[in-house]
Chains A and B, each alone.
Chain A
Amino acid sequence: MGSTITEKILARAAGTDAVQAGDNLPARPDYMIAYDFPGYTDVMFRQMHDDFGIRTLSDPERYVIFIDHMLTKGNEKEQEVHQVTRDWCDFYGIELHEARGIGHQVMAELGYALPGTFLIHFDGHISGAGAFGALGWGVRRDLLEAWVSGQIFLDVPATTRFELDGEFAPGVDSRDLVHRIIADHGADGCAHQVMEYAGPGARAMSIDRRQGLCGMAMFTGAVSAVFEPDEKALAYANRVARKEFTPLLPDADAEYTAVHHYDLSTITPQVVLPGSARSAHTRSAAELTGTPVTKAFIGSCASGRIEDIRAAALVLDGRTVASGVELNVVPTSDAVHRQAEDEGLLDVLRKAGAQIARSSCDFCFGYQKPLQPDENCISTGVLNISGRMGSTAANIYMGSAYTVAASAVAGTITAAEEVSRS
């Protein structure tokens, strides 16, 4: 019997010839990634130092820290939080990437997310690394296990394969696809599994779209998602790689729990109702037309990449954000910000009335400009649970950058195709 991409990556990480779904074994991550956040990294560093007595790391290059949360108030508390992180990284010789953008994007730009590699983080959106044929797994507090032992015990996950054909229609992207998949297969449709994307539609999809798609894997119950690494992924990886890597493809006789087929040209704009991304909350954007919004947000680790900003600019060019609506656009990284500036996209957005903020995670978790009670926000953020972006009495709808931009113009939830016809 052949192996899936995931089985091959974990076999490599476990230092063995082959593993099978269901095996429980320790695997050695290529990189162990975290962002600093009170109660997480500060506690873990203190545990590693005080409780475990670890004073030096044999391989500090496998530890990676980002500062991407709590960057926008500039107050003393922020400085204290980040100084603790700087001090620990200095002590252990760990590379710290500060304020360069959202870590789940910057890790790609800096060559950590490479085909065939195994990455872990306490945060599940590390799954976006799957765009490059890497396995990114959010392990919550078990990150400490890897920090102190160099390895982590895992159940090798089974895989559901998604064969994609066709290309997205105008005004539609991979954000719509992931919510369609959740609607079709349930919030536990891929529970404890990895989603493996392949086929002509996958190969035609841009890296940005793949990152957005893989980064949302947890909402199908999956532990991660991974694309078959192709020429696009290899071209990106070869440009940025910080170490050698071996791309891994699934065997033709690999065993899958299920194989689903999607024709991307049939996907339509989707919007998720406030509360959670569960399947019963997924609607065709058309069904929600007319729902008023006061805030619109394009950003987060699942959006805000150059293609998302191009999408917003396409919709907003020559139009203006509706009166009473605030559209905030946060590029996913400084590099994306510069590119969007160079392409003239940010000028288009500013002219339309959008506000452009420095890259960080702060909008998405309600730290920057928190929503007020009874506000309706349409967002490309990753999560729409009550209280996520501010008040627990605010409502967060989720959709693609196209849909958010179109809704900002209309002042009500609207798919981009409606705007382009008007």
Chain B
Amino acid sequence: MSAARDYPPPPDLIEGRVAWVFGDDFDIDLVIGVENIKSYDAEFLRSKVMQAYDPTFADRVRPGDVIVGGRNFGYGHPHYPPMVALRDLGIAAVLAESFSPGFWRGETYNGMPLLTVPGITDAVTTGDDVSVDWRKAAVTLADGARLHGTPPSDRVVRVIEAGGSLKLLLAEHSRV
């Protein structure tokens, strides 16, 4: 819980490429490897991120890129450092067929847009350009085709706009 990063809220329209497409029931800890899930060290995480999938990942990802998941993305016992490793590189959203509830809640708290977009895994491959209107869960593909997911609730929109739940709660409830 400690040593998390402070990431700014996403732009209204997230524009980037699909950095990777994961399968169903994906355990987010595998992004950095289960041996490494207790570190928040930026250089360490950069050296481990996606090594098992694509050793060039850290060098080719650009801010605004997104990752795509299948059904039940985040299944398992999700720790926070894997998403820190991805967000450090600039990954701006996760688009998935569906999310595992524990992962969804933990990363929503951290202000990460997690958008349920049915059909996304068949519609894109790694490297595709996408633009994402995250408030509407609307995804526009390179050929202009659009996918419509489930828009986040008003409360979750406010959490993401604030840059995470802690900042929203501080704005609402701080007595300092």
Select which of A43, A153, A186 is within 8 A of B2 by beta carbon. Answer: A43
Select which of A218, A278, A386, A392 is within 8 A of B101 by beta carbon. Answer: A218
9-residue interface stretch from B12-20, B56-64, B69-77, B125-133: B69-77
**Of all chain B residues, which has the CB nearest A124?**
B102
**Of all chain B residues, which has the CB nearest A223?**
B101
Please encode chain A, from 214 to 238, with 1 for each CB lying within 8 Å of some chain B CB and 0 for all others. 0000100111000000000000000
Supposing A141-B109, A145-B165, A385-B29 touch, asked if A43 and B174 sit within 8 A by C-beta, the answer is: no
Supposing A47-B166, A187-B75, A218-B101 touch, asked if A387 and B34 sit within 8 A by C-beta, the answer is: yes
CB distance from B43 to the nearest CB of A (A): 21
Interface footprint category on B: 20 to 34
Q: CA–CA, A386 to B35, complex, Å?
A: 9
Please encode chain B, from 100 to 127, with 1 for each CB lying within 8 Å of some chain A CB and 0 for all others. 1110111001100000000000000000
9-residue interface stretch from A48-56, A256-264, A324-332, A334-342: A48-56
B102–A188 touching, CB < 8 Å: no
**Of all chain B residues, which has the CB nearest A22?**
B153
Q: Which chain A positions have C-beta within 8 A of B155?
A: 24, 153
CB distance from B12 to the nearest CB of A (A): 22
Supposing A141-B1, A188-B98 touch, asked if A278 and B77 sit within 8 A by C-beta, the answer is: no
B32-53: which have CB < 8 Å to A?
Answer: 34-35, 37
Q: Which chain B positions have C-beta within 8 A of A223?
A: 101
A251 at the interface (CB under 8 A from B): no
B1–A40 touching, CB < 8 Å: yes
A221–B100 touching, CB < 8 Å: yes
A149–B34 touching, CB < 8 Å: no
Total number of A residues with any Cβ neighbor in B under 8 Å: 40
**Of all chain B residues, which has the CB nearest A52?**
B174
B72–A383 touching, CB < 8 Å: no
Supposing A52-B173, A53-B176 touch, asked if A187 and B77 sit within 8 A by C-beta, the answer is: no
Our count of residue pairs bridging A and B at CB distance below 8 angstroms stands at 98
A187–B176 touching, CB < 8 Å: no
A24–B77 touching, CB < 8 Å: no
Select which of A186, A192, A386 is within 8 A of B34 by beta carbon. Answer: A386
**Of all chain A residues, which has the CB nearest B80?**
A141
A53–B101 touching, CB < 8 Å: no
Please encode chain A, from 142 to 159, with 1 for each CB lying within 8 Å of some chain B CB and 0 for all others. 101100110001010000
B102–A144 touching, CB < 8 Å: no
Please encode chain B, from 78 to 104, with 1 for each CB lying within 8 Å of some chain A CB and 0 for all others. 000000000000000000001011101
B165–A141 touching, CB < 8 Å: yes
Q: CA–CA, A276 to B1, complex, Å?
A: 23
Q: Which chain B positions have C-beta within 8 A of A39?
A: 1-2
B35–A142 touching, CB < 8 Å: no
Central interface residue in A52, A188, A192, A388, by most chain B CB within 10 Å: A188
CB distance from A403 to the nearest CB of B (A): 22
Please encode chain A, from 18 to 41, with 1 for each CB lying within 8 Å of some chain B CB and 0 for all others. 000000100000000000000110
B169 at the interface (CB under 8 A from A): yes
B77–A385 touching, CB < 8 Å: yes
Q: CA–CA, A144 to B34, complex, Å?
A: 27
A192–B101 touching, CB < 8 Å: yes
B35–A387 touching, CB < 8 Å: yes
Q: Which chain B positions have C-beta within 8 A of A383?
A: 77
B34–A188 touching, CB < 8 Å: no
Q: CA–CA, A140 to B79, complex, Å?
A: 11
Select which of B34, B72, B153 is within 8 A of A155 by beta carbon. Answer: B153
A191 at the interface (CB under 8 A from B): yes
Q: Which chain B positions have C-beta within 8 A of A353?
A: none
Q: Given contacts A141-B105, A149-B169, list 7 more A-B pairs with CB under 8 A.
A: A24-B154, A141-B106, A155-B153, A221-B101, A223-B101, A278-B25, A385-B77
Q: List 7 A-B contacts (CB under 8 A).
A: A44-B1, A138-B102, A141-B165, A186-B72, A187-B72, A383-B77, A387-B37
